[in-house]
Amino acid sequence: MSAQGSGGGHVFGFARVVGRSMEPTLHAGDRLVVRYGCDVRPGDVVVVRFVDGTLAVKRAVEVRIDRRGEPGWWVLSDNPAEGIDSRHRGVVPSADVLARVLCRVWPSPRTARGLAAPGADART
């Protein structure tokens, strides 16, 4: 995952998907519009920073408490056979859930509703 406009006072930015961990929802090379500093709900596709600094696009599943007793997000790949997620890295601190994906703009536009996990409702 690579990001442009990542925080630093920006409200919106762009991200590019790298790898296959979010298939079938997203594919390598997809360009996304993201919103920084907004509320996240279970089922949202988000941009996170893992403890080693890796940026990744993942699905926010639920709020969990980390080892220090702080709330954070359990995030998973849509393709569990690929990529790294909370199963490997644990709870992502809330401060490291950087942005919520609003839509895919390339190769073909798709709103947040189109990014919902199978059988789930999503907001736009």
Q: What CATH number does the domain containing 47 carry?
A: 2.10.109.10
Band of residue 124 on the pLDDT scale cut at 50, 70, 90: very low
Contact 75, 21 (CB under 8 A): no
Write out pLDDT tens, residues 61-118.
999 999 999 999 999 999 999 989 999 999 999 999 999 999 999 887 777 667 877 5
Is residue 65 assigned to a domain?
Answer: yes
Is residue 122 assigned to a domain?
Answer: no
Is residue 21 assigned to a domain?
Answer: yes
Q: What is the CA radius of gyration of the chain?
A: 13
Q: How many domains does the chain have?
A: 1
Is residue 44 assigned to a domain?
Answer: yes
Contact 44, 25 (CB under 8 A): no
- Per the structure, the complete domain to which residue 61 belongs is given by 2-112
Is residue 120 assigned to a domain?
Answer: no
pTM of the predicted structure, to 2 decimals: 0.83
Is residue 26 assigned to a domain?
Answer: yes
Is residue 99 assigned to a domain?
Answer: yes
The H or E element containing residue 86 is: helix 86-89
Is residue 45 assigned to a domain?
Answer: yes
